[in-house]
């Protein structure tokens, strides 16, 4: 990743989508905008466009070292003097890994931090609150109550919130989450930081909450979508399930839904790779942080590693989406999942990492990629 030097001249980018013209003005960016994001079209009648990150490792495969550089860049922008405890929350499903990476980088200098995620997968324990992401293909988000008493105490006494997502279009989801947390009992919050890769919200959270709020990002700008009202609306597959599926989750293997201070690198501890071996590590849905730690370890060992993840987000082919695989989800919810821009035969070795049993992973996906399944046994 390029050095974090601010680019201050306005850059204008555009993309012609089937449902309209997207135009963006990039006001400020720490790297070249094209290195940070591109465009795609959602299969979603509520919102036609999608900003696709080139550093996130979700819709485009990315080297772990590039992802790590983005974590460090964002964490360095979070104010160092936030009153503690600091509660960092990553947004499901797209930013749970980004949030974990930002938390890891920030926690190096702040021992009084905990990390939690919003989720669409109940684990069978008590919920703390829920909130809505209105434009999403799956609008409901859950926040669980921590079961560890020390972590629960840190959450309930948190004085600062760091809310992490891949991008902010309007800031409304952050505002909804902040309101839900306060209403549920986080009464001691003094500071709020929103932390995103790309921020198009024009300071919406800061404008609402005032000087207590700080917005940090790697890119700031504004977008305009000129919608073609006569364009046909897409049919969106039903991917909004927020339920326990056929393969329930084990809360004892938690990596963030119940709150954590640190996550161990436990997947495939004895795995060996050859120097230069092209390895694709794939997380599944929200289960991405332990897979990322594996990918990071294999990259350090000398392999040519890329990371990506399956997703329930339905995206049309075109623009940044050059290839798509569709298959049934591995939680037994009976909803379609997708894997973007990972082509069969592209890598020497493909590792699909899962928090569900191996037999829950779609055989069609395993066969298409000639993949190994790595199960979280921790």
β-pair partners for 337: 327
Quick one: CA torsion of 346, 137, 146, 281, rounded to 10 degrees?
Answer: 0
Contact 331, 305 (CB under 8 A): no
CA distance 137 to 29: 28
Give every residue of the chain whose pLDDT is below 50, as ranges: 1-7, 135
The pLDDT tens digits for 327-369 are 999 999 999 999 999 999 999 999 999 999 999 999 999 999 9
pLDDT tens-digit series, residues 212-265:
999 999 999 999 999 999 999 999 998 988 889 999 999 999 999 999 999 999
Domains of the chain: 265-375 (3.40.50)
The angle at the Cα of 64, spanning 342 to 267, to the nearest 5 degrees, equals 85
* Nearest partner of 164 among 215, 111, 113, judged by Cα: 215
- Alpha carbon distance 276, 298 (integer Å): 10
Token couple for 228 = 């073609």
Strands in 47-202 per DSSP E: 49-53, 86-90, 113-117, 127-132, 140-144, 160-168, 191-199
Query: Shortest CA distance to 311 belongs to which of 292, 270, 352, 339?
Result: 339
**pLDDT for the residue numbered 134:** 61
Beta bridge partners of 52: 38
State the pLDDT at residue 132.
81
Bridge-based pairing of strands 11-17 and 20-29 is antiparallel
């Amino acid at each position: 990743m390029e050095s974090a030097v601010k680019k201050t001249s306005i850059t204008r980018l555009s993309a012609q989508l089937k449902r309209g013209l997207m135009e963006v003005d990039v006001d400020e960016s720490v790297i070249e905008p094209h290195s940070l994001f591109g465009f795609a079209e959602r299969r979603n009648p509520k919102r036609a466009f999608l900003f696709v990150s080139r550093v996130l490792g979700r819709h485009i495969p990315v080297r772990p070292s590039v992802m790590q550089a983005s974590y460090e860049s964002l964490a360095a922008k979070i104010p160092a003097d936030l009153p503690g405890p600091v509660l960092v929350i990553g947004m499901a499903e797209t930013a749970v890994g980004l949030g974990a990476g930002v938390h890891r980088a920030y926690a190096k200098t702040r021992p009084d931090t905990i990390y939690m995620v919003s989720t669409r997968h109940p684990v069978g324990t008590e919920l703390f609150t829920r909130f809505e992401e209105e434009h999403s293909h799956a609008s409901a988000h859950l926040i669980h109550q921590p079961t560890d008493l020390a972590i629960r105490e840190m959450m309930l006494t948190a004085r600062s919130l760091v809310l992490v997502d891949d991008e902010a279009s309007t800031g409304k989801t952050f505002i909804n989450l902040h309101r839900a947390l306060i209403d549920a009992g986080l009464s001691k919050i003094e500071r709020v930081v929103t932390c995103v890769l790309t921020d198009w919200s024009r300071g919406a959270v800061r404008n609402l909450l005032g000087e207590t709020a700080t917005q940090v990002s790697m890119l700031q700008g504004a977008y305009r979508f000129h919608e073609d009202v006569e364009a046909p609306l897409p049919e969106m597959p039903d991917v909004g399930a927020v339920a326990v599926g056929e393969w329930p989750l084990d809360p004892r293997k938690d990596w963030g839904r119940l709150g954590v201070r640190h996550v161990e690198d436990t997947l495939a501890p004895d795995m060996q790779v050859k120097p230069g071996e092209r390895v694709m590590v794939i997380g599944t849905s929200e289960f991405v942080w332990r897979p990322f730690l594996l990918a990071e370890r294999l990259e350090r060992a000398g392999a040519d590693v890329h990371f990506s993840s399956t997703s329930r987000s339905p995206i049309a082919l075109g623009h940044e989406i050059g290839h798509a695989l569709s298959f049934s989800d591995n939680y037994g919810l009976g909803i379609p999942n997708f894997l973007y821009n990972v082509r069969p035969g592209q890598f020497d070795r493909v590792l699909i990492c899962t928090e569900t049993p191996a037999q829950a992973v779609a055989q069609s996906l395993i066969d298409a990629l000639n993949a190994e399944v790595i199960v979280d046994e921790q």
